[in-house]
Structure 1
Amino acid sequence: MNIVFVEPGFPANQRRFVLALASVGAHVIGVGEADEYTLDEELRGALRGYYKVGSVTDLRAMTEAVRFIQSKVWVDRLEATVEAHTMVAAQVREATGVPGTSVQTTWLCRDKPSMKQALRDAGVPTAASAAIDHAHEAWAFAEQVGYPLILKPRDGAGAKDTTRVDNDTELAHALTEFGSHGASSIAIEEFVEGHEGFYDTITRDGQVVHDWTTHYYPNVLEAMRHRWISPQFVTTNRMADSSFYAEVAAMGQRVIEALGIPTSATHMEWFHGPKGLRFSEIGCRPPGVGCWDLYSASNDVDVYREWAHVIVHGMPEHQMRRPYSAGIVALRPDADGQIKGYSGIDQIQSRYGQWIIDGHFPPEGHHTQAVEAGYMANAYVRMRHPDYDTLRAMLDDVGQTIHVYAG
């Protein structure tokens, strides 16, 4: 199978998708923005060809690249695993006749108001939402639904630029902020009270063949706005033992069918609270923030290779037996500036060494990243354990014991 892969060299984990595809027998042709010689030797060795473009989000350049590749070899698939690349990839597929996720499905997975309307029409419970092109529409929505409300870019990924507003003053400020950043249209939605998590899958012809359920502690908006929090997300190994996880999986399958997702990775966010389970949003691509690393560690299976095996051979290579839960705890510097040192690392290593997957501790003098930059922006520790509750306690202990000093 000949597979064109978009941007094999950046960001850094892109190479893992290429290596996985090559490991299961695919012939991978990369299309990227870097010079081929700048790719590392192992990555170059996994590629059967490489085509440089000025930008992988330039539709004309990408279409020309794929058509050139098609003039040399038959192209079976075109894969893009970064959110910002998915729409152009879908448009190129339709222009060149390459199978894969359609423009319509990609648009529904990126445009949040349209996504939610399609899912409401299919009977999937979601928050009330709307697309806002003018300020008066936001005020009308607020009057109808009430506060609190969530505002976000229509095609944003994760919590980036997501804003909660609790009153008229905050709504006015948020609208001004979005306007000053050039946003011509935004998504506005009802704030759903409850616990937040995500459900990730690998699908084949619209059916889930692998899945994982993961919890946030605390919810993302809170985690990304307070320095003192050492936030976590933890994937559970209890999916077979809970009616709630069965409900999450059933909802996920309905979402996949309603949006017409064929063979792809997906990343779905959900809330569970007083109103029950509510779908939040979906990305038709793998999750970020090292989630597949946790899924690999929790199953002793290479999830990147599983994804590749489903694409190339149409079936999984291994089942997810879930011997472990696995999670990450983010460790925030006590101030912005430069890293000055750490404490508590040796104590954690001595207490939990056998359960630590890995850790990341930027060296002294390294510039810190903002709190809202995410779970892997500064220091972090990843761990696994057979018991979910024990793992949660261990991650809490890491967050309380390890201190990151900066200034």
Structure 2
Amino acid sequence: MHVVFVEPLFPGNQKDFVRGLHEIGADVSAVGEAPVEALGPDLHRWLTCYEQVGSVCDEGALAHALHEIHRRQPVDRLEATVEAHILPVARVREAAGLAGTSVRTAHLCRDKPAMKDALRAAGIATAQSMGGGDAEEIAGFGRRIGYPLIIKPRAGAGASGTYRVDDEAQLVALLPRLGVGHGAEVAVEEFVDGHEAFYDTLTVDGVIVHDFMTHYYPNVLEAMRTREVSPQFIATNRIDAAHAYAEVRDLGQRVIDALEIGTSATHMEWFFGEKGLRFSEIGCRPPGVRAWDLYGAANELDVYREWAACIVHGRKLRDASRRYSAGIVTLRPENDGRIAGYEGLDEVEARFGEWIIDTHLPPPGTPTQPVEAGYMANAWLRLRHPDYDELREMLDAVGRWVRVRAA
């Protein structure tokens, strides 16, 4: 099978998807935005051919690149794994008559209000929502359902550009900053309180063949706004235990069915609180912030090869071991500036060294990044342990002990 992969260089783990495809026996070509000289020896070795375009979201340029590759060797699949690439790739794929995620599915997984409308129609519990660019209509929605509200980009990913507003005065002040009234549209949702987590899968023809469950501490909106916390997310190895996650797994399969997701990675956010289990949103793509690396370390599994096997061979290669839970703890600099040094790392190494997967500790002099830049923006450590509760205590301890000094 000849697979064309969109954008093999950025973010950094993109080349692992190419590696996975190559290692399971596919012929792999790629379309990307960097010149061919930037690919490096690994990608040069794994790729059959490469086409550079100005933007992989430019459907005309992407279609032309696909045609040029197909002219050299017939193409069987066109694949992408970055949120912003999914819909343009689906349009080019469908126009070329290739198998894969449909334009309808890609649209519903990208447009948050349309997604929620489709899932409510399928009887799936989710927050009340609307999308639009009329400030008075948005204010009227707030009066009907009550505050707080969540305002986010209509086609956003993660917590980027997401805001909570607690009353109409805050809403009225925020909307012009987001371009409402000047042609921009936003997604507006009922605020759902409760514990936040995510459920990720690999599916073949709509059937889940691998799944992983990950918890946020604290919830994402707080984690991306508060310097004083060292946020974590932890992939549990208890997903198969008893019936603890049966309701979430059932919800995930119902969402996959309703959106007609076929052979793909998926990333689904959910909440559990006073109103019970509530769906939040789904992408027909892998999770960000290198969560797959945690799944691999926790389950003694190459998830990139598993994804590739699903795409090329229509099956998984092996079962996840569920031997470990694995998590990341983000370490925020005490203030913005440049990294001056670290305190507490020796204690972490002495106590937890055998359980550390890897670390990212930018050297002194490195400019800091703002809190809202995300979980991997500054320093972080990733650990694994057979016991979920003990791992969580370890990550809490790292957050207490390590200080990132900035000048």
CA distance in 2, matches of 1:297, 1:11: 20
| 3-state SS, counterpart of residue 179 of structure 1 | coil
For the structure 1 residues 181 and 403, does the alpha-carbon distance in structure 2 shift closer, same or farther, using more than 3 Å as the test?
A: farther
2:172 is aligned to: 172
2:359 maps to which residue?
A: 359
* Number of the residue aligned with 2:344: 344
Aligned to 1:147: 147
Does the 8 Å CA contact 1:197/1:270 hold for their aligned counterparts?
yes
Alignment check: 8 A CA contact 2:113 2:131 kept: yes
| Structure 1 residue 312, shift from structure 2 partner | 1.2
Q: How does 1:6-405 map to 2 (within 5 A)?
A: 6-179=6-179, 184-405=184-405
CA contact (8 A) 1:153 1:183 kept: no
- Equivalent residue of 2:178, what SS? helix
SS of corresponding position for 2:282: strand
Unmatched runs of 5 consecutive residues or more in structure 2:
none
Cα shift readout 1:183-239 (whole Å, capped 9, x = no counterpart): 611110100010000000000001110000100000000111110100000011111
Structure 1 residue 17, shift from structure 2 partner: 0.5
Normalised TM-score (structure 2): 0.98
Q: Secondary structure at the match of 1:311?
A: helix
Shift of 1:80: 0.5
The amino acid across from 1:118 in the alignment is A
Q: State the TM-score, normalized to the length of structure 1.
A: 0.98
**Using a 3 Å threshold, how does the CA distance of structure 1 residues 200 and 183 change in structure 2: closer, same or farther?**
farther
Is the partner of 1:390 in helix, strand or coil? helix
- Between 207-216 and 175-184, the greater mean CA deviation after superposition: 175-184
Could you tell me how far apart the structure 2 residues matched to 1:389 and 1:33 are? Answer: 43
1:339 and 1:52 map into 2 onto residues whose CA distance is 36
* Matching residue's letter, 1:374: G
| C-alpha contact 1:132 1:185 (8 A) present in aligned 2 | yes
Q: Kindly state the Cα deviation for residue 321 of structure 1 after the two structures are TM-superposed.
A: 2.0
Contact 1:235 1:325 in 2 (8 A): yes
C-alpha distance in 2 between matches for 1:181 and 1:14: 37
Asked if the contact 2:135–2:180 (Cα under 8 Å) also holds between the matched residues in 1, the reply is: no
Distance, in Å, in 2 between the alignment partners of 1:99 and 1:314 is 12
Task: After TM superposition, give the deviation of residue 132 of structure 1 in Å.
Answer: 2.1
1:266-314 CA distance string (max 9 Å, x none): 1000000001000000111110101000000000111111111111111
- 8 Å CA contact 1:338–1:406 kept in 2: the answer is yes
Q: Which runs of 5+ in 1 are unaligned?
A: none
Work out whether residues 124 and 279 of structure 2, in 8 Å CA contact, stay in contact via their aligned partners in 1: yes
Report the Cα distance in structure 2 between the residues aligned to 1:42 and 1:258, rounded to whole angstroms: 39
Code of the aligned partner of 2:52: K
Aligned with 2:174: secondary structure?
A: helix
Instruction: Tell whether the 8 Å contact from 2:133 to 2:180 is kept in structure 1 after alignment.
Output: no
Q: Deviations over 1:34-71 (max 9, x none)?
A: 11111110111000111111211111011111122222
Measure the CA separation in 1 of the matches of 2:100 and 2:180.
37
Amino acid at match of 1:213: M
Higher alpha-carbon deviation: 51-60 or 390-399: 51-60
Length, aligned pairs only: 407
The question of whether the paired residues in 1 share the 8 Å contact of 2:2 and 2:26 is answered with: yes
Distance 1:250 1:48 in 2: 40
Distance 1:353 1:203 in 2: 35
Q: How many angstroms apart in 2 are the aligned matches of 1:364 and 1:181? A: 45
Report the alpha carbon displacement of residue 182 of structure 1 after superposing the two structures with TM: 6.1
Kindly state the Cα deviation for residue 72 of structure 1 after the two structures are TM-superposed.
2.1
